[in-house]
A and B are shown apart, each in its own frame.
Chain A
Amino acid sequence: MEALLEASVRLAAPLLIAALGELWVERSGVVNIGIEGTMLSGAFAGFAAAVATGSPAVGLVAAAAAGCGVGILFATFAVVRKLDQIVVGMAVNLIALGATGLGARALYAGNPPAAPTLAALPVPGLAELPLLGPALFAQTPFVYAALGLAVVVGLGLSRTGAGLRLRAVGESARAADAEGIAVDRVRFRAVIAGSALAGVAGAVLTLSHSDVFTEGMTAGRGFIALAVVIFGRWSAGGVVGAALFFGAATALQFRLQARGAEIPYPVFLMFPYLVTLTVLAVAGGRARAPADLGRPYRREAPAG
């Protein structure tokens, strides 16, 4: 049971980091389905930098920087040029898939070395607590960062001026504009912040969960993060709960897979996606999205 909880939290961490980033983006009224490719870019950049320098910390910084870069690409087209956000997001995913695949082969010729990973950092004393000790206090810094970020994002949305303005932009870009808030600037910055987090989330995969980069290795985790935001009903607390739920589903899948050979493995791999679909089917219709989500804001309309 302890092991299962520990694995749930560990596996939830990348989802949580990516979903918190996406939450920040979506509360500003932008949907970034390029988050999948952004994670992939972070995974690759983090891996490459860590391999080159031998330092996972440098990898982490590189991952965040790569996320920012991809975020700038997305925001330039989706926020500044106001193209359709879904289309731009898909394009970003394709570009990231191609560019990271190309980069990996150019650098390692199909034979990548192992990256140095971030070790678990148990909190003395607390880590030995029964049940929750290993899950919460014997994890890698990524997990602590993810949980800390949840608090930061939650308070940031409800208790900071920036969060208040961000919410106003996401709920009614027109009203925010009329109050002198630069809608596109708020959204641009939100996308970059969210993309940096997506990059870090990708680095969790190459610097903690494994030590290699493989082509397309995010395997839909970015899309699950999108679902986590919906399932979490666009609140930080909800996102934590949803991410832990998906972490637990994945952990359970590994556990069952290890135990019984009776059920073929694709069934387990299908499990998180089916769970997501089921959850959306149950919760989807009632979830309350920011009112201006997915709508580019244009000011000058030919009105009398």
Chain B
Amino acid sequence: MPQATSRPAAYAARLHGVSKAFVPRRPVLDGVDLAVRAGEIHALLGENGAGKSTLMKILVGLLRPDAGSISLADAPVDLDRFTPAEAVRRGIGMVHQVSALVPAMTVVENLAFGDARAGLWFHPRRARRAAERLAARFQLEVSLDRRVEDLAMGERQRAEILRALGRGARLLILDEPTSVLTPREAEALFASLRGLRDAGRAVIFISHKLSEVEAVADRVTILRQGKATASLSAREADARELGRLMLGRDVPPLERPARTPSVAAPALEIRGLCAPGLSEASRLREIDLRLDPGEILGIVGIDGNGQRELEEVLAGVRRPTRGDVCVGGRRIAPRPRALRAAGLAHLSGDRDGAGLISAFTLAENWILKGSHDDRRFFRRGWLDRAAARRAARAAAERFGIVPADPDAPIASLSGGNAQKLAVARELDGDPSVLVAVNPTRGLDVGSARFVHDELLARRRSGGAVLLISTDLDEVLALSDRITALVRGALAAVPPGSDRAAIGAILLGEAAA
């Protein structure tokens, strides 16, 4: 441990006046102070977009702040020379939101490749013994010889924590670690963190969930719009107060009037659907579901259990091996254009990959999905750019998208504005069914609220929404019925199930 001294440091990390702007005059961080004591679990609380991830990237040397100072273990940091390598050397270990392990390598190899103490040679057996010792010392259970891409999320996370500890981390940073975990896995994680704290390590725990902060943190610092609005002991704060500090305004609860049961034909019906998966766990197995008009059906699940495959089948880009997809009682060929023509729209949280093209303009994105059959914008094989611009401008103005410039590339829009455009586009043809997949992933609270309101508006006006999401809170708040997607098959969720019960189902532990 390079920084180990006879007298333990009082503060694992202190940040003072840290500022960062990616675009001039639009600071992501604005003079943030943060003090993390040795031997405490310090929660960093803030909504998406508040600047938490940016702050942590600065602390691990991935980004350089425009202003401010940092000290680690009571010793100042030279920010001009503060690289990720230096951060690691000074005892910082980051566990990323999106795993920073190399998927194609085994856990042992992942533990070994960044080890500065590794010499000229790599000895697989010696590396494995070292990994075993490390896992035993911190009581973290990981399959050392499997490739990371084959591990469940919770196990990947443990591997990453292990790696950070193996580097001699005194300060562990966990970026929204529970977002990919089941409630049960999250509980196990909290136990591990408490153990580390008791062993004298400091932990920064990033979250936007109040309940988690109350469950695990000793102290909490709240970020709002790039500013640290408060820092207080977790014991002295209550959830209501934290919520006010985090959001800065009271968010009225979603209004979801009771639904009158429908007697009409189902808006969407899926029968015996099977489709190949990216992995064995995500292969779709005999999916049967029915979605009525005016209903929101929530499909909850953990990434990698078939969500992506189901989304792709319903968007027409993954060929099912068996089964039917019926829209409005008619069997539809699972091709993009046929599904769209039948009134099925698709809203994805994977905006850059599947929904919008960031190099295209607003207008071009607006007409993207109609390039084969939308007579308003494409006539006899030619593009009507004036019509596309008019339509995009009108939509941008109606939905308050900034900038409302049809010729601006999507890349120049914020995530929230881009997603507004996607929502506006998908709802434009008044589709009978909307498949929304993680529709608010990565959005700020305001934009997420906009999306939720639009989904509920669809429901009120008799539209059907299939909400496929990994965000349990979102599914609980919006859905009339909930079902779970576990290892590529649907698992029933009894009405009125609480988070713990649903968690058990997601783990496949519910009684048959």
A residues whose Cβ falls under 8 Å from a Cβ of B = 158-165, 167-168, 171-172, 174-182, 290-291, 299-300, 302-304
Contact = CB atoms under 8 A, between A and B. Distances in A.
Contacts of B121: 159-161
A298 to B, nearest CB: 12
Contact of B88 (A161, A179, A302, A304): A179
Given A172-B103, A299-B62, A304-B48, A179 B113 contact: yes
A158 B100 CA distance: 21
Contacts of B28: 304
B292 interface: no
Contacts of B118: 161, 164
A304 B118 CA distance: 34
Given A164-B113, A304-B53, A178 B104 contact: no
A161 B120 contact: yes
A140 B48 CA distance: 65
Q: Which 4 A-B pairs have the closest CB atoms?
A: A179-B114, A180-B85, A302-B22, A178-B100
B48 A302 contact: no
Interface of B: 22-23, 28, 48-51, 53-54, 60, 62-63, 83-89, 94, 96, 99-105, 109-110, 112-114, 116, 118-124, 163, 415, 444
A168 B235 CA distance: 43
A156 to B, nearest CB: 10
Contacts, number: 97
Contacts of B83: 180
A303 B97 CA distance: 13
Given A171-B105, A291-B103, A303-B53, A165 B120 contact: no
Nearest to B112: A164
Contact of A160 (B62, B89, B122): B122
B84 A179 contact: yes
Given A179-B84, A300-B63, A164 B109 contact: yes
B113 A176 contact: yes
A302 B113 CA distance: 28
A176 B114 contact: yes
Contacts of B23: 302
B400 to A, nearest CB: 20
A172 B114 contact: no
A176 B112 CA distance: 11
A169 to B, nearest CB: 9
Contact of A175 (B102, B415, B444): B102
Nearest to B63: A300
Contacts of B87: 180
Given A168-B109, A180-B88, 11 more contacts: A160-B121, A161-B119, A165-B113, A167-B105, A172-B100, A176-B114, A178-B100, A179-B100, A181-B85, A303-B54, A304-B53
A246 B302 CA distance: 47
Nearest to B51: A304
Contacts of B53: 303-304
Contacts of B112: 164
A282 to B, nearest CB: 22
Contacts of A174: 100
A291 to B, nearest CB: 6
A178 B84 contact: yes
A304 B113 contact: no
A171 B116 CA distance: 19
A167 B106 CA distance: 12
B54 A304 contact: yes
B113 A181 contact: yes
Contacts of A162: 120
18 contacts: A158-B122, A161-B113, A161-B118, A161-B120, A164-B113, A165-B113, A171-B104, A172-B102, A174-B100, A175-B100, A177-B84, A178-B84, A178-B96, A181-B113, A181-B114, A303-B54, A304-B51, A304-B444
A163 B109 CA distance: 11
Centre residue among A162, A167, A175 by max chain B CB count within 10 A: A175
A175 B109 CA distance: 13
Contact of A178 (B48, B62, B122): B62
A304 B96 CA distance: 14
B54 A168 contact: no
Centre residue among A171, A180, A304 by max chain B CB count within 10 A: A304
Contact of A180 (B50, B84, B101, B104): B84
Nearest to B86: A180
Contact of B60 (A161, A172, A178, A182): A178
Contacts of B48: 304
A180 B82 CA distance: 11
A290 B85 CA distance: 24
A171 B103 contact: yes
B84 A171 contact: no
A171 B102 contact: yes
